[in-house]
Amino acid sequence: MNEEWCLGCHLCEYFCAFVNSGEKYMPKAFALNRQNVPNITVEEGDRINFAVNCRQCDEPLCKKGCITGAISVKDGVVTIDTEKCVGCFTCILSCPYGAVVPNKEGKAAKKCELCISNGGIPACVTNCPNRAIVLEEVY
C-alpha cells in the first residue's frame, strides 16, 4: 500500500466486497444485499488516505487468540476456516489493524485472503486507479 498515491476513492472497498459476494454482476451484488462488508477499509485523513487490509502477519495475533484453531498461515496468507470458526470474534478484538470483520451472516469472522479463491490477483490491486495498492512478495 502506497499512501502517496491513494486518492481515497474507496473503489477498493467496493471491488473487494463485490468479488467476495459471490455475485457475477456488480450492480446485483450491491442491490441484493446492502450488508456487503469489504475486507479493506480506506482511512481518510486530512491529506493522506490509506487503504487498510490484512497485513498477513508472520505471527498473527488473531491466530494466537483463536480458540478453535480456525486461523492458520498458508503460503504466507492468513486464512480462516469458516467450518471451524465459531464466531467468538476474539480475532476481531485482537487484530491491531482492524482487518478482521464479521461475515455478513454475523456468525463467523472473515478477512482478506488476497483473493486466493477469486483467481489470484487481488481485486483491490487490479482495480486501484492509481496503483496505490500493489501486490508484492515479501521474502
Is residue 104 part of the contact set for other proteins (CB under 8 A)? no
Of the candidate residues 4, 58, 75, 83, the single one contacting other proteins (CB under 8 A):
4
Is residue 14 part of the contact set for other proteins (CB under 8 A)? yes
Is residue 22 part of the contact set for other proteins (CB under 8 A)? no
Cα–Cα distance for residue pair 27/44, rounded to 1 Å: 25
8 A C-beta contact, residue 118 and residue 19: yes
8 A C-beta contact, residue 116 and residue 125: no
Residue 87 CB, nearest approach to other proteins (Å): 28
Helix (H, G, I), strand (E, B) or coil at 97: coil
Residue 92 cell numbers, joined: 476481531
Of the candidate residues 16, 19, 23, 27, the single one contacting other proteins (CB under 8 A):
27
DSSP bridge partners of 102: 109
Please give the residue ranges that form the binding site for other proteins (CB under 8 A): 4-5, 7-11, 13-15, 18, 26-27, 29-31, 47, 127, 129-132
